[in-house]
Amino acid sequence: MKRLHTQIIWRIVIAVVILIGILSVAIPIDRTNPPVTGTIEAPGKVMAILHRSCYDCHSNETKWPWYSYVAPASWLVGKDVQDGRKHLNFSQWDTYSEKRRRHKIKEIGEEVAEGEMPLWFYVPLHAEAGLLPADIKILTAWSESQQ
C-alpha cells in the first residue's frame, strides 16, 4: 500500500512539473526594454543609488535575471516590472510635467525613508540593491532639496 502511495505522489509531482513547463511556454511575458526617451538628472551619488537599487523595476533598462525566464517566477517578475514602470519610469522622465517630477522625487524620499523601497522580496535576490543608512540619507536629502 505504501509503495502505491509513493508512486501516486511521484506521478503527481511529474505531472505538475510538466504542466509548469507547458505553461511557461504557453504564457510568455514581455521582457523587452522599450527605448529610453529621457532620463532623470541628479547628482552622481544619487544616480548611482538609483541605478543600483531602482532601475531594474523603474526604467526601461531592466536587467532580466535568469529566473525571469522560468515560470511561475517569470510571471511575477514581469508583473512587478510592469507595475514599477507604470508607477515611476526613469526612462520616460521627459514625459512628466515639472509638478509630477517634483511629486515623484518626493515619493522617492518618502518610500526609502519608510523602508518601502526597494521591495522586501527584491533585496534578498539582489543584495547590491539594498539601501544602506547612508544611501537613505543621500536620497532623502536630495528629495527634500528638490521640493
The C-alpha atoms of residue 35 and residue 135 are separated, in whole angstroms, by: 28
Query: How crowded is residue 112: how many other Cβ atoms within 10 Å of its Cβ?
Result: 22
Higher pLDDT, 138 or 125: 138
Question: Domain spans of the chain?
Answer: 31-145
Q: What nine digits make up the cell of 129? A: 540593491
Extract long-range pairs of 129-135: CB within 8 Å, 24+ residues apart.
Answer: 129/52, 129/53, 129/56, 130/53, 131/49, 131/53, 135/49, 135/53
Q: What is the pTM of this model?
A: 0.80
Q: To the nearest whole percent, how much of the chain has pLDDT over 70? A: 95
